[in-house]
Every structure is written in structure tokens, then in C-alpha cells.
Amino acid sequence: VPFLSQTFGYFQLPLMGKTELTTAMFFDLGVYLAVIGVTMNIILTIGRD
């Protein structure tokens, strides 16, 4: 696989049917978790005051 390219594949889920999984989804998941973590940290910090 060339540098900075993505791969993808399809698989079957019992309730959702044919689903696509891409390598970019792991990056998106990491960004999502980072945003949730920072948001929760800000909310908890404000809540302590």
C-alpha cells in the first residue's frame, strides 16, 4: 500500500448487513475520542469551581 493511502474492506454484520471498514475510520475514531476527552475534562474542571 502506498504511503498516505487508505485501504478498505467489506464485512457482514448480523443486524446492519454489509458494512465497510476503512483505515481512515481508525483516525476518525482517535480524533473523536480526543475531542470527547478534552470536552469531559473541561466540563469536570468547570464543575469543580
| Dist CA 38 CA 42 (whole Å) | 6
pTM of the model: 0.67
Domain holding 45, by residue range, is 23-49
**Residue 9, in any domain of the structure:** no
4: left (phi over 0), alpha (psi -120 to 50) or beta: left
Q: What's the DSSP call for residue 23?
A: T
**Residue 10, in any domain of the structure:** no
| Dist CA 41 CA 14 (whole Å) | 36
Model pLDDT for residues 1-49, shown as the tens digit of each residue: 688 888 889 999 898 899 998 988 989 999 999 999 999 999 999 998 7
Answer for the pair 9, 25: CB distance below 8 angstroms, yes or no.
no
**Residue 31, in any domain of the structure:** yes
- Geometric angle at alpha carbon 26, from 43 and 30, rounded to 5°: 20
Q: How many domains does the chain have?
A: 1
**Residue 35, in any domain of the structure:** yes
